Amino acid sequence: MEAGESPLILGEFDLNGSLGDIAARAAIINQKGVDVQKKVAPNLPLVVADREKIERVITNLVDNALKYVPEKGCVILAAQIVDDFVQVSVTDNGPGIPPEQRERIFGRFTQVSGEKTRRRGFGLGLSYCKLAVEAHGGKIWVESGKDGVGSRFIFTLPLKPPRGN
């Protein structure tokens, strides 16, 4: 995507259904007894986006959450309308990400430093997420989870797709 060699294939799709499918798969594959929940606003419209790329973004975020959340923890997939955007979030109750590392983790080959145990992966997932979301005209960021516990990854997609795609 960075080189412009992976154009967006836009189409209308049911984000609510995609979130449900991803949550169901995550609930099945997780080995820690993690509670995977979906909370979607009732007025969520169909979105115009590259379904494959957006589902990969959500799957990457959920996979990361499952890596870091403790046994019997919780991961919440949510979506709502905020202004002219659909806002999607993946929240977990894992160790969280220090504020000074929240921007750098979206770089290539980057993982949270200072961890006691090395996690699987090459540090490319969040870089992909950033490129894919920005290609759609959206933004992605991370903040603390509920009550300062864990992480909440949030991305937006415009309700009207970017021109030229």
DSSP string, the chain: -TTS-S----EEE-HHHHHHHHHHHHHHH-SS--EEEEEE-TTPPPEEE-HHHHHHHHHHHHHHHHHHSPTT-EEEEEEEEETTEEEEEEEE-SS---GGGTTGGGSTT---TT-SSPPSS-S-HHHHHHHHHHHTT--EEEEE-GGG-SEEEEEEEESSPPTT-
Is 27 inside a domain boundary?
Answer: yes
Number of domains the chain is built from: 1
pLDDT at residue 16, rounded to an integer: 96
Is 28 inside a domain boundary?
Answer: yes
pLDDT at residue 108, rounded to an integer: 66
Is 3 inside a domain boundary?
Answer: no
pLDDT at residue 45, rounded to an integer: 95
Q: What is the domain-level CATH number for residue 89?
A: 3.30.565.10
**Rg of the chain on CA atoms, in Å:** 15
pLDDT at residue 110, rounded to an integer: 54
Burial of 141 (0-12, 13-18, 19+ CB in 10 A): middle
Is 5 inside a domain boundary?
Answer: no
pLDDT by 10-residue block (mean), the chain, 165 residues: 72 96 93 93 94 97 93 96 97 93 76 49 77 96 92 95 60
- Cβ atoms of 88 and 79 within 8 Å: the answer is yes
Q: Name residue, tokens 């959920």.
A: 62
Is 164 inside a domain boundary?
Answer: no
pLDDT at residue 118, rounded to an integer: 45
Cα distance between the two ends of the chain? 13
Torsion of CA 143, 33, 121, 113, to 10 degrees: 50
Is 6 inside a domain boundary?
Answer: no
Is 32 inside a domain boundary?
Answer: yes
Q: Which domain holds residue 91?
A: 11-158
Is 165 inside a domain boundary?
Answer: no
pLDDT at residue 144, rounded to an integer: 93
